Amino acid sequence: MLTPAWCALAKGGFTRTLWPVLARDLKTATRTGGGWLQALFFFAVFCTAAVFAIGPERAALSQTAAAMIWLGGAFAVQLAAPGIFSVDLEDGALPALAAENPSLSGYYCAKVLLLIMLASAPIALLSPVFFIFFALSPGNALSASAAVLMGAPTLALTAATTAALGSGSKGGGVLSTALAAPIVTPVIIFGVAASEQAATGVFFSPELRILGALTLFYAVALPPIAISALRVTLE
Amino acid sequence: MPSYDCALSLEKVDCERGGSPVLKGVNFDAKSSDTVLLFGANGSGKSTFLSVVAGLTTPTSGVINWRIGEASGQGAIDPLGILFVGHRAPVKTALTALENLNFWFDLYHAPEDNRAKNGALETALERVGLLGRENDRVGSFSAGMKRRLDLARCLIAQRPFWLIDEPTAALDEAGKAIFCEILKEHACDGGCALVATHEALHVDARVVRLG
């Protein structure tokens, strides 16, 4: 079941679907009244609320900073993900695209890139501001955010995969959130640890390396699962 | 205009959906210049038939053979040989008619074909009667106009096999006439069109009843 996905890469259907889909979706995103800001907005609200919930004590704030920012980022990307597939399922574009590129590999990669560009990368780029809210010094905030930026592709990959797994059912959002837990948890564990280490001045910590390794592992392991799930949705 | 040479045959194709059989022992042949209208009651498997030929649904048993020019094969047809137009018009309402069609052109063609793009898009929009509205967002279009825009895909794809599901739903009489013209031209070019429909279209076509 997994092999056709990679066989078809060579046939040219991959790039022929990837760029048009990505270009179309980016253009659509700019026209939907700021809909693409949804993930970023959720992240901002989550982090601000967390600052108030934890209270004014600087030590408590800086201790929880990395955990809150990674959680907020992960949830925000996760929430934005189901929409990226449902738009093409609702109007019947997915069957037409699958007839063109049966492996859906180009389509899936376009959607992951879209999620990186519209959700996880903007969140990572905005995160220094929120690290400062959490009483980190600007320098430390920047290096802690660099770890978030490194984890940004993984957050998008995991969210796109769980969204694909939930795409077949009406309650897909709930299902995909449940499925996301075991896949996202390792990213959060090592992401938080990497950001904490970075904030104390150790940027290339073992945790950051593990985060990098996780990203590479997921980049190979998750796409076939997601693509198979999308194919099953079409059947 | 390109000229096609193609053939398709299905032998004893069975297909299930959600555990219940939809297609039972379907035998079918079509070749260049054939226009085939698939008739059948709701649930008789017209869409499933098209979906099997398009390679979107795997049949439970049976054989599909196809040939396009020199190339031939068994199983799902080479994607570069088919155009699949489903029963819903997959147009994005936030984009203009031209942008929607441009997306499909990029999908159906190699980047080398880009020189001919603007002309091809304009001609296609003119044929379906949407020239003059090409820079309007599709959100402001009626269901029939969206359908016309979707059918414009037929004019830009340049594929031998057309698999079209319920093309005339929401189309007015003029729209149906345009679609029939497009089908006739495709047959003249040697293309093969399979059209699932409930309406008798004014084309020289073979009728196949399912179910």
Q: Which residue has the higher pLDDT, B161 or A171?
A: B161
Q: What is the pLDDT of residues A103-128, one digit of tens each?
A: 899 999 999 999 999 999 999 999 99
pLDDT at A173 over 80: no
Contact list in B for residue A97 (CB cut-off 8 A) is 107
For residue B75, the model assigns a pLDDT of 85
Nearest CB to B84 within list A21, A96, A235:
A96
- Work out whether strand B82-85 and strand B161-165 pair parallel, antiparallel, or are unpaired: parallel
Mean pLDDT, to the nearest integer, of A202-206? 90
Angle between helices A13-30 and A105-115 (to 10 degrees): 30
Gap from B189 CA to chain A (nearest CA, Å): 21
Mean pLDDT, all residues of chain A? 88
- pLDDT for A208: 94
- Closest to B76 (Cβ–Cβ): which among A23, A91, A102? A102
pLDDT at B99 over 60: yes
Closest residue in A to B85 (Cα) is A96
Question: Cβ B90–A88 below 8 Å, yes or no?
Answer: yes
| Residue from B92, B113, B159 whose CB has the most chain A CBs within 10 Å, to mutate | B92
Q: Give A27's contacts in chain B (Cβ within 8 Å).
A: 94-95, 99
Chain B partners within 8 Å of A14 (Cβ): none
Residue A168 has pLDDT above 80, yes or no: no
Distance from CA of A170 to the nearest CA of B (A): 16
Task: Say what the pTM is.
Answer: 0.90
The answer to whether the CB atoms of A31 and B85 lie below 8 A apart is: no
Tell me: pLDDT of A8 over 50.
no
> At residue A202, does pLDDT exceed 70?
yes
DSSP state of B204: S
Residue in A28, A30, A100, A103 to test binding to B, most B beta-carbons within 10 Å: A100
Q: Which residues contact A74 (CB under 8 A, 6 or more apart)?
A: A155, A184, A187, A188
Smallest CA-to-CA distance from B131 within B91, B161, B96, B169 is with B96
Shortest Cα–Cα distance, B206 to chain A (Å): 24
Residues of A in contact with B89 (CB under 8 A): 91-92
CB A124 within 8 A of CB A194: no
Cβ-Cβ contacts under 8 Å, B82 against chain A: 99
Percentage, residues of chain B above pLDDT 90: 64
Average pLDDT score over residue span A17-26: 93
* pLDDT at residue number B178: 94
Instruction: Decide: residue A6, CB within 10 A, 0-12 exposed, 13-18 middle, 19+ buried.
Output: middle
Q: Does A104 touch chain B (CB under 8 A)?
A: no
β-sheet with B35-39: strand ranges across:
B82-85, B161-165, B192-196, B35-39, B206-209
Band (pLDDT 50/70/90 cuts) for residue A12 is low
For A:165-224, CB contacts with B below 8 A are: none
pLDDT digits (tens, 9 = 90+) for A25-75: 999 998 887 778 889 999 999 999 999 999 999 999 999 999 999 999 999
> Residues A17-45, buried b or exposed e (16+ Cβ, 10 A)?
bbbbbbebbebbbebeeeebbbbbebbbe
Pairwise CA distance, residues A58 & A55, whole Å: 8
Report ipTM (2 d.p.): 0.90
Q: Å from B41 to nearest chain A CA? A: 21
Return the higher-pLDDT residue of B149 and A171.
B149
Per-residue pLDDT tens digits for A177-191: 788 889 999 999 999
In Å, how far is B77's CA from the nearest CA of chain A? 9
